Amino acid sequence: MKKMLPWLITILLAITLIAVVAIVLFNNILGGGSNDPAKQAEESVQNVEAEKITADELVAVTSELKGIKTNLSDPTYIVQIDFAFQLDTAETKAEFELIKEFAIKPIIISTLGDINPEEVSGSQGKDALQSKLLNLINEKLTESSEGKLVNVTITNILVAQI
């Protein structure tokens, strides 16, 4: 038994060393499976600085869409909502104004039709809606122009049960 003790200790140390190296490699080299979109978005936003813009410049690149009324995914609830869309240039705003009634409004209505009343009741739900609309509308804008949508803001919202 005394002759096997050094061998057992050596084998246990080797297994422990292999396990530690495997964990370190998995976390550092392979990324540790961190495919969590919320974590990735949080990391990408941390080092971003907002570009300062004057009020006149903001008005020149902002378009409003008011009075959208539609049902939510729960048919007993309706929403009345207004948006402000900040675009990157005044030219993009002019193009956006031309297509907002027949191209942008349907995107908004279909997105709202997929949302539960609870999802728009809190600030996180509103932020998620704004982000989703930003991505969907930017896809539509890149098809028709070179400009892009910079920000979507909910300016007014009313959720009511019928």
Question: Is 138 found in the same domain as 86?
Answer: yes
Residues 76 and 18 in one domain: no
By the 8 A CB rule, do 138 and 146 touch? Answer: no
Same domain, yes or no, for 149 and 86?
yes
In a domain, 42, yes or no: no
Of all residues in the chain, the percent with pLDDT exceeding 70 is: 83
For 5, the domain range is 1-32
Mean pLDDT of the chain: 84
- Residue 40, in any domain of the structure: no
Count Cβ atoms below 10 Å from residue 31 Cβ, excluding itself: 9
Residue 119, pLDDT score: 86
Q: 93 and 156: one domain?
A: yes
Residue 51 falls in which region: left (phi positive, over 0), alpha (psi -120 to 50) or beta: beta
Q: State whether 62 and 16 are in the same domain.
A: no
**Rounded-to-integer distance, Cα 139 and Cα 136, Å:** 5
Are 88 and 153 members of one domain? yes
Same domain for 65 and 28, yes or no, is: no
Same domain flag for 85 and 156: yes
**What integer is the mean pLDDT of 75-84?**
93
Does 22 share its domain with 59? no
Q: Are 126 and 157 in a shared domain?
A: yes
| Residue pLDDT, tens place only, 4-63 | 888 888 999 999 999 998 888 888 776 655 555 555 555 555 555 556 888 888 899 999
Are 26 and 106 members of one domain? no
The tally of domains found in the chain comes to: 2
Question: What is the CATH classification number for the domain harbouring 89?
Answer: 3.30.479.30
Tell me whether residue 81 is exposed, middle or buried, using C-beta atoms within 10 angstroms of its C-beta: 0 to 12, 13 to 18, 19 or more: buried
What local confidence, expressed as pLDDT, does residue 3 receive?
81
pLDDT of residue 5: 84
pLDDT of residue 27: 81
